[in-house]
Amino acid sequence: MAQQLVDLRDVEFVIWEQLETEEMLKHEKYEEFNKKTCDLIMKEARNLAIKEILPTMSIGDEKGVVLKDGVVTTPEEFKRPFELLKEGEWPGLRVPPEMGGQGAPQVVGVCANEYFMAGNWPINCYTHMGNGAAWMIQEFGTKEQKEMYVKRITSAEWGGTMLLTEPDAGSDVGALTTTAVKNADGTYSITGNKIFITNGEHDLCSNIIHPVLARIEGDEPGTKGISIFLVPKILVNADGTLGERNDIWCTGVEHKHGIKGSATCSMTMGAKGKCIGTLLGKEKEGMKIMFMMMNEARLGTGLQGLAYASGAYLLALNYAKERIQGRDLKDFAKRDAPGVAIINHPDVRRNLLKMKAYVCGMRSFFYWSTQIGEKNEYLSDKRDPLQSAYFDLMTPIIKEYLSKVGHDVCVEGMQVLGGAGYTKDYLAEQYTRDCKICSIYEGTSGIQAQDLVGRKLGAMKGQAFMKFIGDIMATTAKAKKMKGLEDIAAQVEALAAELGKAAGALGKKLGAGELKAAFAHSLPFLHAMGDTLVAWMLLWRAVTATEKMTDKVKKKDEVFYDGQIKTAQFFIQTEVPVTMGKIAAVIAGSTAAIDIDDAGFGGL
């Protein structure tokens, strides 16, 4: 059974028809790119993902990584696809030329990453994760740091990480104990321990550059006293050649529920001698600098959830088309009737369409959000504060909603495969296990919800949220004028209005000092806002498809466009009523979870 990973026709629909990206290609920064070039890039990413990366996914799960004498060894089968990604300059596809990248439109790079993540996320992570460190260095580093590190990291010649979490300082970063002492030559001696460090040590790169959060000796406690340092695995000479081994070592690797091919390391610094680091940016600016990388990581985690969901959906779809089981319901009384593929059974069809609706909605949401940031950050002479706030509003939803719903879709995929989905004969169960981490790392679900309700909703006096509601209403107004879309447009309009009421109810609680009561409903609100975004995106897809349904359209395109309309109808008519119930609960604002005594939860 062939595995598709990502529906390329659907991606093309989003990029060229829904988002009309060709208009953006007219910008001078994209003079080397046109639609044909972008299509070729995306098709090549598809071929590489399916032929070279996907075959290593189950191997990585079976073999994992091995730590011996401070060295982490990845599966031998990872070496070839890693080198192919590196040689093809895929890690730098979305990176600006001044950083050594190709400067491709962001949505084209997103498409490639979606393929690579669905094929084997750990391999993609080994090649691409360093970009976050490179961006920090490009933005805040000295000229020497930029010249020494940036292009080597974006090319995947060297790896990059982020050393943040400690045993007693995870979400509470201000409690970290890693220290830095300034040396006479301006460098710093770093001492401390970090845990849960993705790619902290591995054998795929000749060097790894570690941005490390630490407190300079004597600086105040809490987050205000934190600085950030660049700590290379192997010290780099002034001429760029590799020097002595630095005193930063992997002391353990985690044995995990999923993503077993990814090295999740415990790291120690300064235990065997002297760990040398250089200050990045200014003293005590560590949190500000780190959040630049953290926000990018959170967006990447949302894409990871989408990629798993896409792979799981297409696996389930292909299986349902081929698996013969049971008679068609219309022939139920005929014992000699032939068996049919399970895609003919109503409940399987409902399951598949539910998966498709979420995958399509999440893809449009992510690609659209990517363009908002791209236009404001890279294609404008001056950043628009409202557009920045609008993009920031979407960040916690991308991270949490795509992570949570991505996992839900993977579970649904296992259900479609039935007993076979619970075995290792298919990737359905691995997609499900691998995807679970997405709602945990880079800030758990509750942290994203607090960020949304506590910071992002009220930004610029709520203007970003009101723009969000206004953009939905613009789409519903257009859809109401189209035959066949009137009813679902009205439902989305009503949904957006109710979501606005829920935001107001939470705002009143926060204003009244009822913080715990408000935050007890922050995650349900985030999920309801995510549902609203999916409903909007699917309605927008239906509007675009309706506009394309002319007499001259080819039959296969007619079927595709009709599929967009049916998908929107399904989600809005069956899932949105459930979301309205979630919103009603947020508005009602039960305080039971806050009022219950600790002992009332039960247990010993």
Annotated catalytic residues are 442
Looking at residue 127, its amino acid is: T
Give the H or E element holding residue 71: strand 71-73
What the block records as the tokens of 150 is 């940036």
Helix 428-436 and helix 286-322: axis angle, to 10°? 160
SS (H, E, C) 110-171: HHHHHHHHHHHHHHHHHHHCHHHHHHHHHHHCCHHHHHHHHHHHHCCCEEECCECCECCECC
- With contact defined as beta carbons under 8 Å apart, do 204 and 79 qualify? yes
User: How far from 448 is each of 181, 293, 312, 401, 441, CA to CA, in Å?
Assistant: 34, 16, 25, 9, 11
State the Cα–Cα distance between residues 574 and 351, nearest whole angstrom: 12
Residue with tokens 């961006």: 135
Select from 534, 329, 316, 512 the least CA-distant residue to 431: 316
User: Is 20 exposed, middle or buried, given 0-12, 13-18 or 19+ CB atoms closer than 10 A?
Assistant: exposed
State the Cα–Cα distance between residues 247 and 269, nearest whole angstrom: 6
State the Cα–Cα distance between residues 310 and 495, nearest whole angstrom: 26
User: How far from 471 is each of 1, 107, 246, 458, 492, CA to CA, in Å?
Assistant: 42, 21, 52, 18, 12
CB atoms within 10 A of CB 460: 16
State the Cα–Cα distance between residues 504 and 515, nearest whole angstrom: 14
State the Cα–Cα distance between residues 5 and 406, nearest whole angstrom: 14
Query: For the chain, first and last CA: distance in Å?
Result: 50
Tell me the three state secondary structure of residue 13: helix
State the Cα–Cα distance between residues 232 and 252, nearest whole angstrom: 19
User: Is 555 exposed, middle or buried, given 0-12, 13-18 or 19+ CB atoms closer than 10 A?
Assistant: exposed
SS (H, E, C) 334-384: CCCCCEEEHHHCHHHHHHHHHHHHHHHHHHHHHHHHHHHHHHHHCCCCCCC
- With contact defined as beta carbons under 8 Å apart, do 250 and 267 qualify? yes
What the block records as the tokens of 322 is 């081929």
What the block records as the tokens of 55 is 């075959």
H-type helices in 423-521, by residue range?
Answer: 428-436, 445-451, 463-479, 486-511, 515-519
User: How far from 397 is each of 373, 392, 413, 457, 532, CA to CA, in Å?
Assistant: 15, 10, 23, 12, 11
- With contact defined as beta carbons under 8 Å apart, do 404 and 301 qualify? no
